[in-house]
Structure 1
């Protein structure tokens, strides 16, 4: 079994959480500290949501998720599922959307 190191504080701050109207990824740090013009996750096209989640997974130091009936899904498999928007990919997108909302809320409250 792989050794699972916990996600560090910096990982949360440096990974993208949304994008600008011109298509540039914005990290949590940029969203909180600079307050740039941004497109909320739920307003992104389905394609852009998939791209954002795939990029968040790609930038994760480690990524594995256990899915009932599927077993362990590693980083490469997860990115493929997200890009193809399969049922697994859509579930991962939904989880990341919730995570992004929670991270932004906690960061703005100073609780991250």
Structure 2
């Protein structure tokens, strides 16, 4: 879940770390439907799943490292130069941001968005 020194690129440094969930589409992530999938509409996540872990903001990229309790494990990252947009898409009590690149949109459920957004250059 934490970034180890050997996970970092040369010259890369962690600026901020937040507990977060990456919202992924079940079919795009290659996951099978799960037993309570039919209830996900109640939290506006039909066809989606939240992958929990830590979101790390470094001077080079955004990195999500999942924790052991997820069906999908590992990490994925997006380099800062390809990020074309970052917006707060929170509704009600659900705190989330959307990160856009030229080809993808990533949604992260995360608290502390006011501190997170300025940390992303």
Higher share of residues assigned helix: 1
Looking at secondary structure, tell me which structure has more strand per residue.
2
Q: Report 1 or 2 for greater relative contact order, CA contacts < 8 Å, sequence distance ≥ 6.
A: 2
Whether TM-score is above 0.5 comes out as no
